[in-house]
């Protein structure tokens, strides 16, 4: 069931009624049933995958919790009898057992994810599926696999680290893994952030319901009116003949599309959860207003980056081998050497982030390019500081705007790797920016041959301006809360107008394929 369907709205409507009408102590059970109904719409064949992750993770956390309790009991019981060394050895033994179970669970789950990403997704599956015995490979990637698996594994690691309580109810574990708004494209929640809001009882709150619906409506606007309308032009601009300024236009159009698509989908997910009184973490905070790459990645796909930082970057950089390496490189290379382990951690994290998106070279290149820009920015930071200290204009608003535009354009160029399976083609197009200044494509009719009509451009232009203004308006606080203070007639007029815009100008129905979100494929 796609978020972009009336079936989903009907499903959500029925769920909301049952959720608030039935005894509140059953709310989490209703959510669990609804989540599995939602998942079953994607296909019964995928059920085994999510059940596997749920069961293995639950068994692992139960084992770890059991061992931790046993350890506590034993240490308590034998407090007087055990020496300090013996206690230490016992703790080490328990920890090793826990780590082994955790690693087995991670390997099993990520092994399946690896297999699915490598074999069930184009282009690799075609190599296998030509053989009839491997025809099951054509089932495609199970819905939301990367998202629910990362969320569950993150929880497992938190339990291992003692940072999260271990669930004792397998059905609650099932709900945490399969909570339906997150299944399509995240956000990836941490257990401690989600547990209270997910498992607790929620009384009906008209304001919360209205806020959730407004957020969903805004998501539909971004997805249907903006992202899906501009998609046709992106398909055309990917053609080999579009180089130089045409490629530049492609990068800008793609920025608009992926922003509308991904943030729109997240708005729908967060809004749907909000109608049920559940608060999901934010995944975007006006990313295109970032002034440098580090800030950008703190604002874009926040939950994935947070996951990568918590469970890959930090463990690598503070691991024993890295600390040893740090000491060595520091003694030989000074301050630069001190940062080498951090850079290695960054490199591995970005490689993992690239691979998370898919087993394609272009995703790896995308990760490496991001890593490269981050490392260079870090190394040049002292120079920037000197520059800013020396020139007063760097504190002016105009300079901020320049930094924002610079970062927007730079990220557009890096992000464009997504569009080309052939990395060579990407670099050829990127290179053409250096010598092909064909600005005439902007007015010689080329832009009118991309599949967009004048009215499409007008709708897109107005839509982008609206998104920009809402982002600007939202810098000083929640837009919906501000709107709540407006006159009721004006408020409803704006909401109904937005609904009409979505219904009339949305790209859906016959001739459009609006059912899929870009991040759904990961």
In angstroms, give the least distance from the CB of 70 to other proteins: 53
Dist CA 455 CA 173 (whole Å): 49
Cis peptide before 187 (omega within 30 of 0): yes
Q: Which of 25, 206, 335, 485 binds other proteins (CB under 8 A)?
A: 206
Dist CA 254 CA 261 (whole Å): 10
The reply on whether position 203 binds other proteins by CB under 8 A is no
Measured from the CB atom, is 300 or 505 closer to other proteins? 505
Q: Which residues contact 501 (CB under 8 A, 6 or more apart)?
A: 221, 225
Measured from the CB atom, is 5 or 329 closer to other proteins? 5
In angstroms, give the least distance from the CB of 270 to other proteins: 21
In angstroms, give the least distance from the CB of 452 to other proteins: 13
- Part in contact with other proteins (CB under 8 A); list of ranges 87-95, 152-160, 430-438, 498-506: 498-506
Measured from the CB atom, is 297 or 508 closer to other proteins? 508
In angstroms, give the least distance from the CB of 12 to other proteins: 15
Output the six-digit token pair for 338: 């001190």
User: Interhelix angle for 84-115 vs 47-77, to 10°?
Assistant: 180
Measured from the CB atom, is 86 or 503 closer to other proteins? 503
Binding map of other proteins across residues 447-476, x = CB under 8 A, - = no contact: --------x---------------------
- Phi/psi for 110 (5° steps) reads -70, -25
In angstroms, give the least distance from the CB of 223 to other proteins: 15
- Part in contact with other proteins (CB under 8 A); list of ranges 1-9, 124-132, 288-296, 326-334: 1-9
CB 11 within 8 A of CB 38: yes
Measuring CA to CA, which residue among 31, 1, 519, 521 is closest to residue 260?
A: 519
- Phi/psi for 478 (5° steps) reads -60, 130
- Part in contact with other proteins (CB under 8 A); list of ranges 14-22, 106-114, 170-178, 496-504: 496-504
In angstroms, give the least distance from the CB of 494 to other proteins: 12
Output the six-digit token pair for 86: 């013996």
Residues present in the chain in total: 522
The conformational region for residue 162 under phi > 0 = left, psi -120 to 50 = alpha, else beta, is: left
Q: Which of residues 502-521 bind other proteins (CB under 8 A)?
A: 503-506, 508-513, 515
In angstroms, give the least distance from the CB of 511 to other proteins: 7
- Part in contact with other proteins (CB under 8 A); list of ranges 25-33, 97-105, 356-364, 493-501: 493-501
In angstroms, give the least distance from the CB of 496 to other proteins: 5
Dist CA 178 CA 143 (whole Å): 11
Sign, CA torsion 86/88/91/92: negative
CA atoms within a 13 Å half-sphere pointing along the CA-CB vector of 85 = 0
Q: Which of residues 313-342 bind other proteins (CB under 8 A)?
A: none
As a whole number of angstroms, the longest Cα–Cα distance in the chain is 88
Dist CA 188 CA 494 (whole Å): 32
The reply on whether position 5 binds other proteins by CB under 8 A is yes
In angstroms, give the least distance from the CB of 177 to other proteins: 28
The reply on whether position 23 binds other proteins by CB under 8 A is no
- Part in contact with other proteins (CB under 8 A); list of ranges 5-13, 105-113, 307-315, 424-432: 5-13
Q: Site residues (CB under 8 A) for other proteins? A: 5-7, 206, 455, 492, 495-496, 499-500, 503-506, 508-513, 515
């Amino acid at each position: 069931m796609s978020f972009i369907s009336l079936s989903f709205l009907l499903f959500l409507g029925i769920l909301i009624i049952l959720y608030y009408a039935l005894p509140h102590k059953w709310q989490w059970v209703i959510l669990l049933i609804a989540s599995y109904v939602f998942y079953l719409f994607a296909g019964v064949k995928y059920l085994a995958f999510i059940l596997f992750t749920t069961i293995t993770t639950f068994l692992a956390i139960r084992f770890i919790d059991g061992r931790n309790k046993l350890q506590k009991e034993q240490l308590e019981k034998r407090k007087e009898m055990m020496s300090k060394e013996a206690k230490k050895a016992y703790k080490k033994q328990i920890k090793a057992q826990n780590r082994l179970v955790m690693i087995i669970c991670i390997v099993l789950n990520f092994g399946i994810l690896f297999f699915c990403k490598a074999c069930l997704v184009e282009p690799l599956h075609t190599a296998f599926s030509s053989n009839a015995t491997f025809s099951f490979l054509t089932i495609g990637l199970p819905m939301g696999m990367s998202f629910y698996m990362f969320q569950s594994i993150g929880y497992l690691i938190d339990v291992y680290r003692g940072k999260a309580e271990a669930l004792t109810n397998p059905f609650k574990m099932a709900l945490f893994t399969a909570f339906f708004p997150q299944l399509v494209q995240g956000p990836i929640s941490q257990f401690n952030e989600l547990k209270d809001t997910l498992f607790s009882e929620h009384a009906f709150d008209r304001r919360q319901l209205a806020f959730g619906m407004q957020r969903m409506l805004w998501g539909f606007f971004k997805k249907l009116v903006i992202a899906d309308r501009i998609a046709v032009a992106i398909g055309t601009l990917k053609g080999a003949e579009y180089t130089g300024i045409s490629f530049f236009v492609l990068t800008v159009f793609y920025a608009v599309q992926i922003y509308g698509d991904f943030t729109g989908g997240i708005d729908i997910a967060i809004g749907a959860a909000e109608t049920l009184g559940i608060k999901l973490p934010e995944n975007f905070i006006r990313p295109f207003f970032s002034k440098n790459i580090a800030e950008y990645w703190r604002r874009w796909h926040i939950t994935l980056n947070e996951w990568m930082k918590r469970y890959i970057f930090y463990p690598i950089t503070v691991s024993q081998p890295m600390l040893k390496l740090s000491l060595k490189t520091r003694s030989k290379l000074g301050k630069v050497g001190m940062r080498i382990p951090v850079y290695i951690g960054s490199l591995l994290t970005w490689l993992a982030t690239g691979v998370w998106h898919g087993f394609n070279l272009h995703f790896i290149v995308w990760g490496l390019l991001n890593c490269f820009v981050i490392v260079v920015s870090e190394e040049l930071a002292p120079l920037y500081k000197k520059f800013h200290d020396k020139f007063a204009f760097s504190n002016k608003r105009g300079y901020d705007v320049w930094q924002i535009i610079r970062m927007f354009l730079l990220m557009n160029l890096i992000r464009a790797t997504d569009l080309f399976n052939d990395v060579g083609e990407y670099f050829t197009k990127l290179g053409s920016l250096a010598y092909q200044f064909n600005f005439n494509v902007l007015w010689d009719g080329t832009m009118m041959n991309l599949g967009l009509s004048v009215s499409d451009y007008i709708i897109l232009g107005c839509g982008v301006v609206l998104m920009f203004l809402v982002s600007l308006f939202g810098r000083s606080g929640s837009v919906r809360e501000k709107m709540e203070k407006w006159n009721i007639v004006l408020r409803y007029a704006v909401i109904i107008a937005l609904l009409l815009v979505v219904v009339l100008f949305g790209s859906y129905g016959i001739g459009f394929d609006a059912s899929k979100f870009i991040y759904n494929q990961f």
